[in-house]
Structure 1
Amino acid sequence: MATNTTNYNLIKPDVDDFYDVNQFNQNADIIDTQLKNNADSIKAILTNDLTALPPVDATLNSGENTLTTEHDSTARVTAFEGDTIVNDIGALFDSGAWGFSSDFVVNSPSKVTLTVSDGANHGHYVVFPVKANTDYTFNVKHNASIAIYKVDGTPIQNYTSDQVITFNTGTETNIRIYFRNPNLTNGTFTFEEPMLNEGTEPKPFVANVQGITNPTIDNPTTGDSITLLGTFHKGDVVSEDKGQYSVLRAKKEVSLGGSEGWTYSTKGATGWKRVTTPISGGVYGSQKVVKYNGAILSDLPIGGTWENADSTVLFTDNLLYISIANTDSGWGDSYTPTADEIKAYFLGWQMSSTNTASPTPYNGTGTKYWRAISVTPVDGNQYTTTLPTTQAPISGKWQPYKLVFDLASPVREPIQAINSVLKLAKGDNALQVSEGRIVREKANVAYDSNNAFINSIHPGYEQSRLKYKTSKILSVYKNGELDTNWIHQSDSVTYGNDKVYIPIANFDKIAVYTVDYEPLYPFEVTAPTNPITIEYQSNLASVVGQNVEDIVELKNDVAVIERDMVRKGEGVEWLTPVLLNGVTGDVKISKDVNNIVEIRAQLTLPGALSTSTPLFFVPKEFKPPTVVPQYFNCIEYTTNTDSKTTVIGISPNDGGIRPGFATTKNILIINARYRAGQ
C-alpha cells in the first residue's frame, strides 16, 4: 500500500503496487512548485540583502530602549537638541546659604531633616528673588508642611501638605519659602529636592541652572558606548557629518573662574561694589549667573537701577556687570580693589584685614589677608598674605561663578565624542540612554610607599579628590589607555561612594591618569536628557557599503593629517607630565624621530623651592644620556619688571626636573631642547 513523504507529501508506491502515471505526475507537480517557491525566496533574500537600502532612524528616550537589527551594524547620532532648566531656589542645602537652625540636619545637598519632640511648631524660611507678575511652580518632596509668603509676612499660599504649589508673584520681587512640621506635631520630617521654576508645570529637579551634559548611549550587548562631550542648552542642535559632530549653539555657558578681564566698575550703596568683564556676542539681559554657593543672581531689569548686591546684567556694551557684597569679597566700603584682587575673588578667595575666626573687610590700611571661601576660618592657619593667583578648593560651599546667556547669532562649533559610532549586534540591543557622566577628568593621584589613590579624602591625600562626589568610578586611563589594575574601595575617607587605589609597584608617577565616573548627585551636573536620534544600516548591503565609505573617509583623513604634519613639522606627540610639590601651570614635552626632546612650560611655584625639589619627571626614554644632570637657562619672575635668568637641571637618573638654584620668584618659564639618551 502506498505511503507519503513527511515534508512534501509525495506518494511512495509500495513494492507490490502497479506503476501509476498519475501518481508520478502529482509528485512532479509538488516538486516543481516547491523548487519554484524556494528559488523565489532565495532571490528575495538576496535582493533584500544585496540591494542597499536607506539608513533607518531610531529615537532613543532616557532609560532603556530595545533596538532589534537583522545584522551586526553601527549607529551614529544624527540629531540631538539641548535643554536648559532653571531652579530659582539656586543654592543647595549644603551650601551654607540656607542658615538652618539646629532643629534641621542637612543630610545631603538635596535633603534636610527636621526633628520635633516638644509639640511646638518649628520652621525655617529663606527669601528668594522672583520676577513680578509671573507664574511660578514650587515643588518639594516632603511629609510636613510648606508655605509661600510675601516678604512682609502676608501669605501667598498658607501652610499645606501639598507637594506642589503654583502661584503668581503679583507685584512681589522677593518671596519667602517656609518649611515647617505639621501644626504642633512631633516627629521626623524630611524635605527633598526643592524646585522653583517659572510656569505652571513642575520641572525636574536640578541645581541652579543646568543644560544637558555628556549625553551617553551605552550598549551592554556589545560593550560599546558613545558620549557627546559638552553641555548642551535649550536651542543647541547637534548634528553629524561623516563621523564629525558639531553643535549649532543658541546659548553659551562660561565658567567665571578668574581668567576673565575683570575690572572695578563702581561703588554701590553701603555694603557692595560692582565689577565688570567683557562678554561678546550675547543678547542684552539674557544672562543667568550662578554665584559661588549656587544661588542665582537677580537679573537687573532692562532699564532698571542697581540697588543691591548679587545682581547682574549683560549689557549692550558687551560687558557683564555683577554686584558683590563686601561680606563676600572682603573689600571694605572705602576700599577699591585692584584687577588682580577682583580676579582672586572669582578664583575663590576672600580678602580680610584680620587673620582670625572673624574676618573683617579690608579698608585700605594694615595687612591684607586672604582665605579660601570654601574654608571656615578658625585661626591664622587658614590665611595667606600673598595675593592668590590659583583657584581655591572646590566644595559644596564654593564653585566658580557660572554664566549662561543667549547668543545674538547662533555659532557652529565642533564637538568631541567618545567613539563616533556605536556597535550594534544582530538581534536585540538593550540601549541605555543617560546623561551627566564625567568623562576623562584628570586625576591628581596621591601616593605613599605602599599605594596610590584617586578620590581619597584621607588627611594628606585630599588633592586626589575628584571634582564631584562619586557614585561609581567606571574607568581609569593611563596616558589615554585603559588601566585595569586599579582596585575599588568605599570607606569613610572616600569622596562619595567610590575611590580606587593601586599598589605602588603598578603606579607610574610620571604618567597622566584620567577617570570616567558617575557623579553621586547628577542634578549638580546636568539636566535630564532629551531624546537622541540615531541612524543605522538595516541590511547587509547597506552595512558593507557604510563600512567601505567609513574606510575611505578614514584613509583620506589620515592622509590629510600626515600631509599637514609634514608641512608643519609636527610629527611628534606632546605629553603632559604630572606637576609635583604644589607646582601648577602648563607643561608639555615631546621627542622627535631624531631623539630631540623639547620642554615648554609656564609654571606657578608655591614658594621658594630647593634644588632637591622635583617640579615634574620626564619618561625614561626622555632622559639625557649623560651621567650628571644637564642644565638649561630659563626665566623666573614675580612681576613683569623683576624677571631674571636662572637654570633648571634634568637628572639622567630619575628624569626629575629640578631648580638649578633655589627659586626666589613665583613664575618659571622653561624652553629647553636636548638630545635624549634612548
Structure 2
Amino acid sequence: MAEVTPNIGLKKPLESEFVSIHTLNENMDKVDQSLGAVNDLPTSAANVADAISEVYDHLADKSPHQLTLTQGVQVVQGGDVPAILHPTMQGRTLVNLLGRDGNCENTSRWSAELVSLAIDTTNVAYGTSAIKMTHTSTGGYMYRVTQLAAGKYYLLAGTLKNVNMLNGLAVRFVAIGDQNFYGNYITGTDKFEISYATVAPAAYDGSSGIRIGIGAMVASSGQYGYADGIRLYEITAAEKTYIDGLTTAEAQAYIAANYPYVDDMKHVNAVYIENKGKNLLPPFSKWTMNSNGAVNGEYSYQLTTSTTTNQPSWAKVNLIIGQQYTYSAVHAGRLVVVFYDITGQVISGSGVSTAEAELTFTVPVNTAYAEMRFDGDSSIGTFTFTNPMLNFGPEPLLFEPQKPSYLYLPDCNLRSNVGGSVADRLYTDGQGKPRVTRRFRETALDGTLAWAFNLDFSGFKRVICPLPGATYVNAKAVKYDGKLLRENVDVDGIDNFQIDVTPSLYITIADTDSGWGESYTPTEDEIKAYFWGWRMYGSNDGLPYTGTNGGKIWKMIDANNNSTYGQGVLVVPTTLNILAETAYKPYRLMYQLSQSVDEPVTYEGSLMLHEGDNQVEVGTGIVVREAASPVTRAAGDLHGINSISGYLSTNPLKNRTEKILRVHKNSLDDRNWLRGIGNILNWYGTGYAYIPIAYFDSAAAYSVTYLALDTYMLGIAPQTISAEYAPNIRESVESLVRELVESRTETSVLANTKAQKQQPQWIASTLRNDWVNFASGMAASYRQNESGEVELRGVIRNGITTDGVVLFYLPTDYKPTRQTVIGVLNYHPSTNEVFKAFLVIDADGKVTIYGAGAGSAISFDGVVFPLK
C-alpha cells in the first residue's frame, strides 16, 4: 500500500504501482494549498522560492549600510526595516580674521574712502543691522586694515546688496604687492548676494597692515548699497585652486555652505540632525494659529470667520527644491502652500491652493522654506481641518501623526586646524552614544590665571602667565572683542601672542586698551582685573593711569571696546564684569593636544530611519533645555516665553530665537504650550511660545529647546556626516540587543557605584578680605552632594563687613547658574546677640555677605543650594 508524507499527506506510489494523473494533480493541489496564495507572502517577493531567499537575506550576517549627510534638507533612502542611524563627523574651525567687525553692527570698526557710512536696520543679512555705504565721489569704498602673511592663502567674502550703482558692488584686497584684487560685482538690486575674492600674497611681508575693502570701481555721488557678513579666512592652496575653478554661481553656493560668516572663531557646534517621519507636518500645538481658530486635538482644528478675509493658520517647513510633495487633509476650507526665499520674501508667482482634499506641488527654485496653510477661502462660516499630512511624491499617504526622531549635540565644539588635517572626531560607541576623540582644547584667559608684568614698549605692554604642562601646537588666541591675536615669535607688536617651551603665554596689550599709562607698571591684580574685563583710568581726566592724573578707577569693558558702563569702582576688581553674559567675553586660547583624549559629549535623542524615503535635515543653532521664565500677558489671559513686548515684563532667551521646538515642564515635554513665528519687534527673534493661564503651573520649572536665529554666534554645521545603519532584521535586532545589554550594564554599574560611594569630600574655602576660620574644627568648606546640590559648612569671623564684601570664590563645578540669596546666622560676640545676614552666591562663583556687623561671626552650616 502506498505511503503518504507525514506533514501534508502527499501520496508516495510504490515502484510497482501505476501513477495516475489524478494522484499527481492531488499532490500538487495539496502543495499549493499548503503554500497559500503568493500575494499573502509576508515579503515583497512574487513567488515562494524568492520569498524564502528574502527571508534568509533578512537573517544573514551583513555589513551596515553607509550613507553621507550634508548640511540642509535631503532625501535619504531607508532600508527594508526601521533602523537607528549612527553618525560620525569631523571637527572644523573657521577663524574670521576680521573678528566681529564683519558683522557690520558698528560703523566705528570701518574707515571710509570717498563714502559715508551709516547703520541700517531694514536691509540686513546677519544680526540686527548692516552698513549702508553711500558714495560721495567716484570709486570710493569702506575698509579696515588687517595683516596677511606671505606664503598663505586667503578668502575674502561679503554679503552685499546693491541698490543703484550701475557697475555694482564688490569686495576687494587693496594694494597687495602694488595690486588690487576685486571680487565679483553684485549688480542685482533686489537681494543680498556673496561677493568673493581669493589671494596668495606672495609679495606681502606682513610687517604692516593692508586694506580690506567693500566698494565700487566706478560710482557717482549719492549711489549706495549695503554690506553685511564680511569674513576673511585663511584657506589652503588646494581650496584656493578649487574656488578659483568654479563659476561665480557655483562659488557663491559653495562659500555660503562651507565658509559662512562667523563671529571671530567658531567650531562645529550646536548641531542637530532631524528626521520628521513620513508626515512632515507637526501637531497643531506647533503651528502659528489664527486668533479665530480653536485647537480641538493634536490634529483637529476649527476656524470660525466673520469676515471674508482668509484668516490662515500655518506651519513653516523646510522642503527640497525640485522635489514633489502632496499636502492632504480632511477639511471644509482651503489648502494653501506659499514659498519664501532666503530673505523671507514670497517668491513671485509661487503660491498654490486648492479646495480639494489634496494638493500636489513641486518646490520652485530659490525656495528657502514654505508655509503649509489652511484658511477659510474668503468666506464667512465655520471650517474644520483634521488630519493634515505632507508627504513625498504625487500621491497622498494614509494619515499618521508626525513621528520625528532627532539627535541634538548642543555643545560638541568639534575643532580643527586650517584645512582640517588634524580634527576632533565624533563617533557612536557600542551603546549607541555619541563620543568625541579630542585633538584640541579651548580655555578662557581670564583673571584666574597667574598673570604678571613682563615688558614695557612704547604704547603697549607685554604680560605673561604660565600654562599647564602641555604641548601648545596650532594655537589661536581671540581677544574679548573678537579680534584675532597675531602669533609672533618676538611678541613686539600690539595684540600679539606667543607660547614658549616652558610653556608660558605672552600677550601684548595697548595702553589705551588696558588703561595702563606709558611707563606705568601694573600690579598682578591690575593685570588680572583687565582679563576680568575692566579698564583702568586716572580719576582726574579719564585717560590711562600714569600715577599723576588722580586716583585709580576701573570701568567695565564691553564687546565693542567701550568702557562707559556705570561710574566705575575705586578698588581693583577681582571678578568678571557683569557684562560677561551679554556683551563681554574673556580672551580665549585654542590649542592642539599632544595626545588625543576620548570623552563623552552632551547629547539628546536618537535618530531613526523608516522604510522608503526619509527627509533628513542637518543644521546648526540648536539650544537644548535653556531655563525659561514665563511672564503674563498684559491682558492677563496668557503666559509667554521669549517676549519683549505686550507682556507685563520681558523674558528674552539668551539667543535671538528662530523657532521654539519644545517647552519642558520639570524636564518633561508640556504639550499645552502653543508655539509660533511672530514679528521680530514683539519677540526676541521670531520664535515664541504661550499657554493659557489655566494650564500654567507657577510652581514648575520650565525650560525650552529652540533653534537660534543668529547661528553664526554659536557655531557651524559639519560639512558632511558619515552614518551607518543596520541593513536587515538580524543586524537591527542584534544592534538593539547589544545596546540594551550595554545600557543595562552601565545602569547596574552606576547603581552599585552609588550604593558603595563614600560621602563627597569637603573642600576648604580660600577666605578673603581678612575673614578667618572661627576655629580649627569649624573651617569654611564646601562640597557637592549626590543630588547635585552644593553644601556649605563652617564658621568664619573678624573680616571686613561692608555690604557686598567677598568672602570667598567657588570654582567652576560649584557655581550656580543664577544668583542665589540665602539667610545665615550672624553672631556678634561683643554683645552676645544673633542676627540674620544674607549670603549672596553669584553665577560667577563669588560669595558675598550683606547685613554683617563689625566683629561678626558667620555660620554656613545648613546652607544648601542647587547648581541649576
- Give me the TM-score of the superposition, normalised by structure 1: 0.74
Segment of structure 1 superposing worse, 132-141 or 509-518: 509-518
2:227 to 175, 179, 191: 191
| Mapping for residues 274-673 of structure 1, pairs under 5 Å | 274-280=462-468, 283-284=471-472, 286-300=474-488, 304-354=489-539, 359-364=542-547, 365-374=550-559, 381-385=566-570, 387=573, 389-394=575-580, 398-419=584-605, 421-443=606-628, 454-456=641-643, 464-486=651-673, 488=675, 490-492=679-681, 494-500=683-689, 512-568=701-757, 599-600=791-792, 608=803, 633=825, 662-663=851-852, 670-672=860-862
Counterpart contact for 1:456–1:493, Cα < 8 Å: yes
- Partner residue in 1 for 2:118: 104
Amino acid at match of 2:413: T
- Partner residue in 2 for 1:14: none
SS of equivalent to 1:89: coil
SS of equivalent to 1:232: coil
Distance 2:154 2:223 in 1: 30
Counterpart contact for 1:204–1:528, Cα < 8 Å: no
Quote how far apart the aligned CAs of 1:177 are.
1.2
Distance 2:169 2:271 in 1: 36
- Partner residue in 2 for 1:218: 274
| Mapping for residues 168-183 of structure 1, pairs under 5 Å | 168-169=200-201, 170-173=203-206, 174-183=209-218
Deviations 1:173-218 (A, max 9, x none): 1211122244232433122332322342465123232210033210
Quote how far apart the aligned CAs of 1:95 are.
5.5
Quote how far apart the aligned CAs of 1:128 are.
0.7
In the alignment, structure 2 segments of 5+ residues that lack a partner are 1-19, 39-46, 161-167, 187-194, 244-254, 278-402, 417-422, 761-781, 795-800, 805-821, 829-833, 840-847
- Partner residue in 2 for 1:138: 156
Distance 2:64 2:698 in 1: 48
Distance 2:480 2:631 in 1: 27
**How many percent of aligned residue pairs carry the same amino acid?**
23
SS of equivalent to 2:862: strand
Counterpart contact for 2:643–2:682, Cα < 8 Å: yes
Amino acid at match of 2:405: D
Distance 2:589 2:484 in 1: 10
Segment of structure 1 superposing worse, 69-78 or 128-137: 69-78
- Pick closer, same or farther for the CA change 1:87–1:78 going to 2, 3 Å: same
Distance 1:631 1:160 in 2: 65
Question: Please, what is the CA RMSD of the aligned residues?
Answer: 4.6
- Pick closer, same or farther for the CA change 1:668–1:23 going to 2, 3 Å: farther
Distance 1:353 1:502 in 2: 53
SS of equivalent to 1:548: helix
- Pick closer, same or farther for the CA change 1:672–1:253 going to 2, 3 Å: same
SS of equivalent to 2:408: strand
Counterpart contact for 2:803–2:850, Cα < 8 Å: no
SS of equivalent to 2:109: coil
SS of equivalent to 1:494: coil
Amino acid at match of 1:347: W
- Give me the TM-score of the superposition, normalised by structure 2: 0.59
2:65 to 56, 66, 89: 56
- Pick closer, same or farther for the CA change 1:284–1:66 going to 2, 3 Å: same
Counterpart contact for 1:588–1:601, Cα < 8 Å: no
Distance 2:645 2:695 in 1: 21
Distance 1:492 1:131 in 2: 44
Counterpart contact for 1:444–1:463, Cα < 8 Å: no
SS of equivalent to 1:103: strand
Deviations 1:319-371 (A, max 9, x none): 2222122222222234433444433333333233349xx84223345142323
- Pick closer, same or farther for the CA change 1:373–1:388 going to 2, 3 Å: farther
Distance 1:396 1:326 in 2: 25
Quote how far apart the aligned CAs of 1:78 are.
4.6
- Pick closer, same or farther for the CA change 1:150–1:569 going to 2, 3 Å: same
SS of equivalent to 1:316: coil
Quote how far apart the aligned CAs of 1:407 are.
1.6
Amino acid at match of 1:172: D
Quote how far apart the aligned CAs of 1:72 are.
5.1
Distance 1:282 1:458 in 2: 50
- Pick closer, same or farther for the CA change 1:466–1:359 going to 2, 3 Å: farther
- Pick closer, same or farther for the CA change 1:443–1:97 going to 2, 3 Å: farther
- Pick closer, same or farther for the CA change 1:473–1:565 going to 2, 3 Å: same
- Pick closer, same or farther for the CA change 1:139–1:25 going to 2, 3 Å: same
- Partner residue in 2 for 1:209: 265
Deviations 1:636-665 (A, max 9, x none): 9xxxxxxxx985699xxxxxxxx9972479
Quote how far apart the aligned CAs of 1:544 are.
2.7
1:227 to 408, 431, 441: 408
Amino acid at match of 1:238: L
Distance 1:97 1:262 in 2: 34
Deviations 1:541-592 (A, max 9, x none): 3333333323322222221111111111679xxxxxxxxxxxxxx9978779
Counterpart contact for 2:792–2:863, Cα < 8 Å: no
Distance 1:233 1:532 in 2: 15
Deviations 1:66-86 (A, max 9, x none): 333355534243522111222
Segment of structure 1 superposing worse, 70-79 or 182-191: 70-79
- Partner residue in 2 for 1:641: none
Q: Taking CA–CA contacts closer than 8 Å with sequence separation of 6 or more, which of the two structures ends up with the larger relative contact order? A: 1
Counterpart contact for 2:555–2:563, Cα < 8 Å: no
Deviations 1:221-273 (A, max 9, x none): 031101234110121112222223322212222233x2541412324312222
SS of equivalent to 2:545: coil
Does 1:129 find its partner at 2:147?
yes
- Pick closer, same or farther for the CA change 1:146–1:225 going to 2, 3 Å: closer
- Partner residue in 2 for 1:622: none
Deviations 1:119-152 (A, max 9, x none): 555432210122133332323243414432249x
2:49 to 33, 36, 40: 40
- Pick closer, same or farther for the CA change 1:492–1:559 going to 2, 3 Å: same
Distance 1:453 1:328 in 2: 42
- Partner residue in 2 for 1:149: 174
- Pick closer, same or farther for the CA change 1:379–1:397 going to 2, 3 Å: closer
Amino acid at match of 1:672: G
Distance 2:468 2:179 in 1: 42
Amino acid at match of 1:333: E
Counterpart contact for 1:247–1:415, Cα < 8 Å: yes
Aligned residues: 592
SS of equivalent to 1:261: coil
Distance 1:314 1:463 in 2: 45
- Partner residue in 2 for 1:94: 105
